[in-house]
Amino acid sequence: MLRVESISYKLNNRPLLKDISFSIRPGEMVALLGSNGAGKSTLMRLLSGERKPDTGRIMLYGDDLAAYNRKILATRRAYLQQHNPISMAFTVREVVMMGRYGFKSGSSAKNDQTALLETMELCGLTDLADRSMLSLSGGEQQRVHLARVLAQLWDNKDAVLLLDEPTNNMDLQFQHQTLAIAAAMAKKGYMIVVVLHEVNLAAQYASRIIILKDGRKWWDGTPVQVLTPQHIYTAFGIHAQAYTDQSSLKTVIVPKEIKLDAAKFNSNLQVLHQPVYKLKTTETDELINLQSVKI
Ligand SMILES: Nc1ncnc2c1ncn2[C@@H]1O[C@H](COP(=O)(O)OP(=O)(O)OP(=O)(O)O)[C@@H](O)[C@H]1O
């Protein structure tokens, strides 16, 4: 179990995280949601050990993360960062194999090879194995990094996998595939923490959702409990409706109306007499008349 006990974190005297506590059991997939700047990535950096909390502690299976042996921790926790720049011409195979380096001495070459081949296949990379990273698209590169962190934990079914916006740059198919992989890993016993911006992806795949706002944990529960119109408005400042999709029984959030100041909008575009704009929302086919909307 991963237990976050009352952690707080300041940077240059500015509190970024305030008194956050929660626990995650093996088999749970927790989505962290919140507006830009709410503190999601900062929390992930603390969970990953990249930064240390000023107060409170983070426990993994009863031991403080700060006191863990680094090699053992590398087999029990992996972190996919939001940005993973690569400037050298490593091949896909080499980058995925880097996931195995943290505990090289404790893992057999056969296990490494199995992890490499299975994670590359899972992430749809088998045909790209010998390509240079520098030749890949942004979404393909992101899949390679996903395979790298999966390879890191491949032998340890009760490990923690931290994914910060893993679907960045991915097309629709791979967004779903990535989260389906994460959900399948959770079913095997892994603990997954995933930062997402798309609330409907969170509703579809996460077993639990935590919403952060201004560095605090505001809500924590199942998607049905957390993704209410009121919470969405408080967290994101947007009016939305929540439906239950009848075939999947998952919550679906549909934004109602986007508030734009039509006058400013027009003058910024240097349009003097613009006819009525019509925006079509994908979910509802509802038409929004921007000129009728006032802040
Ligand atoms: N190195 C830094 N120096 C100064 N401020 C920082 C630094 N890192 C983060 N912050 C601030 O901390 C707050 C939380 O940032 P964080 O990246 O955790 O937010 P987030 O919820 O992940 O946002 P986003 O959705 O935009 O990725 C923001 O106000 C950000 O500007």
- Which domains does the chain possess? 2-237 (3.40.50.300), 262-292 (no CATH)
User: CA–CA separation, 82 vs 165, rounded Å?
Assistant: 6
Q: How far is the CA of 257 from the centre of ligand 1 (A)?
A: 28
**pLDDT, tens only, 130-182:** 999 999 998 899 999 999 999 999 989 999 999 999 998 888 998 998 999 99
Q: Would you give the distance in Å from CA 273 to the centre of its chain?
A: 43
Region 56-82 average pLDDT: 91
In this structure, the number of other CB atoms found within 10 A of the CB of residue 233 comes to 13
CB 261 within 8 A of CB 295: yes
Best mutation site among 7, 9, 11, 35 for ligand 1 pocket (most ligand atoms within 8 Å of CB): 11
The answer to whether 235 and 216 have CB atoms below 8 angstroms apart is no
Q: What is the pLDDT of residues 50-63, one digit of tens each?
A: 999 999 999 999 99
Q: What is the largest CA-CA distance in the chain?
A: 70
Helices (H), 127-273: 138-153, 172-188, 199-205, 223-226, 229-236, 262-268
Q: Would you say the CB of residue 223 lies under 6 angstroms from ligand 1?
A: no
Report whether pLDDT(105) > 70.
no
pLDDT(185) > 90: yes
Ligand 1 centroid to 104 CA: how many Å? 34
Output the pLDDT for position 270. 56
The mean pLDDT value for 113-124 works out to 94
pLDDT at residue 294, as a whole number? 39
**Distance from the CA of 110 to the center of ligand 1, in angstroms?**
41
Q: What is the pTM of this model?
A: 0.86
Measured CA to CA, the distance from residue 196 to residue 70 in angstroms comes to: 28
Which strand (E) or helix (H) includes residue 43?
helix 40-48
Note whether 8 and 18 are within 8 A (CB): yes
- ipTM > 0.90? yes
Test site for ligand 1: of 9, 10, 42, most ligand atoms within 8 A of the Cβ: 42
Which residue spans within 34-190 are E strands per DSSP? Answer: 55-60, 63-64, 77-80, 160-164
Distances in whole angstroms, Cα of residue 223 to Cα of each of 65, 67, 253: 28, 34, 11
Q: Which of 9, 40, 164 to mutate to test the pocket of ligand 1 (most atoms within 8 A of CB)?
A: 40
> What residues contact residue 57 under an 8 Å CB cut-off, 6+ apart?
5, 7, 64, 65, 66
